[in-house]
Structure 1
Amino acid sequence: MRLSVIGCGYLGAVHAAAMASIGHEVVGIDVDAQKIATLSAGEAPFFEPGLSEILSDGIASGRLSFTTDFGAAAGAAVHFVGVGTPQIKGGYAADMTYVNAAIDALLPHLSEGDIVAGKSTVPVGTAASLEPRVSDTGATLVWNPEFLREGFAVQDTVDPDRLVAGVPAGEEGERAAQVLREVYHPSVAKGTPFIVTDYATAELVKVSANAFLATKISFINAMAEIAEVAGADVTMLADAIGHDARIGRRFLGAGIGFGGGCLPKDIRAFSARAEELGRGESVAFLREVDEINMRRRERAVELVVQGLGGMVFEKNVTVLGAAFKPYSDDIRDSPGLDVAVRLHGLGAKVTVTDPEAIPNARRQHPQLTYVADRDEALTGADAVILVTEWDEYRRELSPEHASGLAAGRVIVDGRNGLDPAAWRAAGWTYLGMGRP
């Protein structure tokens, strides 16, 4: 099948390459000429495991191409729209500028029977507002939300845990759903759940999933706050309640909280949309979820200050990580980078290291010092704080090895990913999040 993908950022580039990898002919379209040039050369403009390989394979096979010309969308059976919906400046709502611009640019190139499949995370009600503009061309609008995890995006696109299609009622919707089944034929053939529903439900599936995950993370971080004053260990607490099948252990890792380009802005946009619908009280708890999340960053800074005897001015602090999560170079709303900036503001000499995210971090926060090599970054440190769970920090760095590099013996575990007993036995002052 011939497909077009409008928007070649994180979502669109992965989707285009993944669709080509399962046999479709795909053209990716974006207004950013530099991004298109990079992708056309078979190079990923950001770090995502597995993406470079399927990009280069797709380009070489001739099934995958990229362009700035929206006219290239003509003739495609399905047009995926995967542009960003960032938080508006000065507010919580989602900025729909890019979605509206993408639809406007696509409309002249649609034909009778085409499918326009929205993948962007949007406020509920968006599809219903866009549908008349699309249907005037004879095309059908569906909403097909993505559920990608950064670091596993290729896997999640090729082999998702579920597929959701919000379609119009009647025969038109049935036909559109069938076309999407054909697009995702390998997943459908292996029995992946394919849920066909209305527009509003499809839109809510994505934001409610993110809201639930954010709530679970902030719940355990709220328990960490209690554990810290009660003398309890939040990691053992999470293990204990995680054995309950109704709760589960995943996303119960207390630490400095969540970040990235989805969870923070999505729960804020969800709150804003609920207010617009007159049901703000229904998701009022998400404001507290957000506040708990932000408080954990401040707590991490407090622990560094505590470990250094109450003063970080002119002290050398090494921050292990810059990306908001491992296996990514994404620094959007990175909790760890926020902690680094706050420490710098207190007068600390902050050195940040990360396997992938240093170029992005340097562009955004040039006031910090960046060192690519982990051991070089640790050399001379008075205190160290783990903020991103890369294996080379969490599993491959021994306290004995770190002792031979650092000047001080203070380790703040912002992800509760280290063994406190091992670090303390090696002479370090270990400070965890919600741990005695």
Structure 2
Amino acid sequence: MKISVIGVGYLGAVHATCMADIGHSVIGVDTDADKVARLNTGKPTFYEPELEPILKRNIENGRLRFTQDMTEVVDCDLHFIAVGTPQVADGNAADMRYVDAVVESLLAVLPAQSERSIAVVGKSTVPVGTAARLQERFAGHGIPVVWNPEFLREGFAVKDTLRPDRIVYGLPDDVEDADTARTLLDECYADLLAAKIPKVETDFATAELVKVAANAFLATKISFINAMSVLTDATGGDVKKLAEAIGYDDRIGKKFLRAGIGFGGGCLPKDIRAFMSRADELGHGDALAFLHDVDDINTRQRERAVEKLREALGGELSGKKIGVLGAAFKPDSDDIRDSPAVDIAGRVEHAGATVVTYDPKAGEVLQKFKPERVIAVSLEDAVRDADAVMVLTEWKVFQDLDPSSISDLVNTRIVIDGRNCLDPKRWRDAGWTYVGMGRK
């Protein structure tokens, strides 16, 4: 098939690359000239394991290319909308300007009535009601819209695209339009469907709700176990053992029951806020009132980490040097959007401490967006002469670190394990004061 992917940021670049890798002819479109030029050389504009070799291979074999020219998509069978929907500057709602701009650009270049079957496929995370609104815009062109939400995990995006847990089709009410959209998407995803990936067919509204509902549920699990960590701290319990015990109940499950400094990134925080905002617009804000608490708990965990550091240092941060290990919001990513690690480092710095940060992949990104931050080129440089070390992203290199290897570099052997990813016994045996989140 001939496919266009409009918007080649994180979602779009991964989707375009993977669709080319399963045999389609794909053109990615973006307004950012530098991004387009870099992708055309086979170099991603962000770090994602496994992506670069696949991107390079499909650029070289001619199945994938990138452009700024929207007119080049006119002969495509499917047009995937993959632009971002960030939080608006003055509220919690999703900023739909980029989605709407794509729609207008497509309408300007696509024929009013095509002799062949084509469809517009939404992958962006949008407020419920968006697909129906966009279908009205494309109705005059005889083009059906289908909503096909993404469920990518950073660090696993290639796998999640090629072998997702499920594929969701949000189909239009019109039977003929639905048949056209279904047939085209089935052809696009033929390899995935042949691999028995479950397919869920539903209406527009349900498909739009699937993504935000999933993110809201995951955020709730994370905030729940973080709330429990407050109580285990207060009572002398261990939140890691608590999570293990309740996780054996298959009604609860072990995933996302990991206490720490909370969630971040470009999806969960802004998606739950946009979800609450949309519920308010629909007159049912009370249905999602609990998400305010989920958001608040998440934010408070960041300040709890700072307070644990202050307590470990005798009540004062001013004049101290803190080595921070981690900047990305999660390992195997260079994404610092709404990163708890970056936020906590800023809070510590605001309290008067000198902070030196090291991250295996996100250091350069942090330096670009926050040039005032001190970024170390190595782990050892980050912790040298530190009065305490904070582990704020659970990179494997930090988890596997031998504490004795840096014991002589620091001023004081204090480690704040913001992700509960270290072995407390190992660090204590090496002479360190270990402080976790809700751990003995």
Tell me which interval the TM-score lies in, with the shorter structure as reference length. Answer: over 0.9
Correspondence for 2:139:
135
Q: What's the counterpart of residue 57 of structure 1?
A: 57
- Are 2:335 and 1:340 equivalent residues in the alignment? no
Deviation of residue 151 (structure 1)?
A: 0.6
Contact 2:86 2:95 in 1 (8 A): yes
Alpha-carbon distance in 2 for matches of 1:3, 1:135: 20
* 3-state SS of 1:240 partner: helix
Which of 126, 130, 155 aligns to 2:130? It is 126
What is the RMSD of the two structures over their aligned residues, measured on CA atoms?
Answer: 0.9
- Give the structure 1 partner of residue 408 of structure 2: 404
Q: Within 2, Cα distance between the matches of 1:40 and 1:139?
A: 30
Q: Residue 136 of structure 1 aligns to a residue in which SS?
A: helix
1:81-140 CA-to-partner distances (Å, cap 9, x unmatched) read 000000001200000000000110011233423110000000000001111111211111
Displacement, 1:304?
Answer: 0.9
Structure 1 residue 164, shift from structure 2 partner: 0.3
TM-superposed CA distance for 1:386, in Å, is 0.5
2: CA distance between counterparts of 1:172 and 1:239? 48
Letter in 1 for 2:315: G
Deviations 1:273-313 (A, max 9, x none): 00000110101000100000000000001111111111111
Aligned to 2:89: 89
Aligned with residue 247 of structure 1, among 249, 252, 257? 252
Q: Does 1:310 align with 2:315?
A: yes
Q: Could you list the runs of 4 or more consecutive aligned residues of structure 1 that deviate by over 6 angstroms after TM superposition?
A: none
Residue 205 in structure 1 maps to residue 241 in structure 2: no
Please name the residue that 1:171 is paired with.
Answer: 176
One-letter code aligned to 1:130: L
Instruction: Judge which range, 231-240 or 404-413, deviates more.
Output: 404-413
In the other structure, the counterpart of 1:359 is 364
CA distance in 2: counterparts of 1:354 and 1:237, whole angstroms: 30
Instruction: Report the counterpart of residue 384 of structure 2 in structure 1.
Output: 379
Please name the residue that 1:13 is paired with: 13
Deviations 1:256-289 (A, max 9, x none): 0000000000000000000000110101000100
Rounded to whole Å, the distance in 2 between the matches of 1:372 and 1:48 is: 20
What is the aligned partner in structure 2 of residue 417 from structure 1? Answer: 421
SS at match of 1:403: coil
Q: Quick one: which amino acid aligns to residue 234 of structure 2?
A: V
**C-alpha contact 1:6 1:29 (8 A) present in aligned 2:** yes
Is 1:149 matched with 2:149? Answer: no
The answer for unaligned runs of 5 or more in structure 1 is: none
In the TM superposition, residue 316 of structure 1 has moved relative to its aligned partner by 1.1
- Equivalent residue letter for 2:76: A
Contact 1:29–1:66, Cα closer than 8 Å, also in 2: yes
Q: How many residues align?
A: 435
Contact 2:92 2:274 in 1 (8 A): yes
| Distance apart, 1:426 and its partner CA | 1.4
Q: Which residue of 1 aligns with 2:29?
A: 29
Look up the SS of the partner of 1:176 in the other structure: helix
Q: CA deviation at 1:359?
A: 1.4
**Counterparts of 1:127 and 1:101 in 2: how far apart (Å)?**
15
Does structure 2 conserve the Cα–Cα contact (< 8 Å) formed by 1:85 and 1:98?
A: yes
Q: Which amino acid aligns with 2:368?
A: R
Q: Deviations over 1:29-74 (max 9, x none)?
A: 0011111001111110111111111111111000001000000111
TM-score by length of 1: 0.99
Once the two structures are overlaid, the 10-residue window that deviates more, 382-391 or 104-113, is 104-113
1:391 matched to 2:396? The reply is yes
How do 1:189-200 residues align onto structure 2 when only pairs under 5 Å count? Answer: 189-200=194-205
Contact 2:418–2:437 (Cα < 8 Å) also in 1: yes
Q: Secondary structure at the match of 2:121?
A: strand
How far apart are residue 366 of structure 1 and its match? 2.1
**Alpha-carbon distance in structure 2 between the residues aligned to 1:172 and 1:369:** 55
Q: Does the aligned pair in 2 maintain the 1:344–1:368 contact within 8 Å?
A: no
Cα distance in 2, alignment partners of residues 109 and 42 from structure 1: 27
Alignment match of 2:269 (pick from 264, 271, 293): 264
Asked whether the equivalents of residues 257 and 294 of structure 1 are also in contact (C-alpha less than 8 Å), the reply is yes
Give the Cα–Cα distance (whole angstroms) in 2 for the partners of residues 267 and 277 of structure 1.
15
User: Which residue identity does 1:100 align to in structure 2?
Assistant: D
- Percentage of pairs with the same residue: 55
The whole-number CA distance in structure 1 between the counterparts of 2:369 and 2:346 is 11
**Residue 110 of structure 1 contacts residue 139 of structure 1 at CA under 8 Å; is this kept in 2?**
no
The 10-residue stretch of structure 1 (76-85 or 101-110) with the greater mean CA deviation from structure 2: 101-110
TM-superposed CA distance for 1:175, in Å, is 2.5
Q: Which amino acid aligns with 1:59?
A: I
Q: Secondary structure at the match of 1:79?
A: strand
CA distance in structure 1 between the aligned counterparts of 2:247 and 2:179, rounded to whole angstroms: 40
TM-aligned CA deviation for residue 183 of structure 1: 0.5
Query: Which residue, 322, 326, 329 being the options, matches 1:321?
Result: 326
TM-score, normalised by the number of residues in structure 2: 0.98
Distance (whole Å) between structure 2 residues aligned to residue 299 and residue 402 of structure 1: 25
SS at match of 1:47: coil
Q: What secondary structure does 2:101 align onto?
A: helix
Task: Answer whether contact 2:144 2:180 (CA < 8 A) is retained.
Answer: no
Describe the superposition over 1:168-226 as per-residue Cα deviations: whole angstroms up to 9, x where unpaired. Answer: 12132022112111101111001100111100000000000000000000000010111
Please point out which of 301, 304, 322 is paired with 1:299: 304
What's the counterpart of residue 183 of structure 1? 188
Q: In 2, Cα distance between the equivalents of 1:373 and 1:334?
A: 20
Counterpart of 1:185, as a letter, is: A
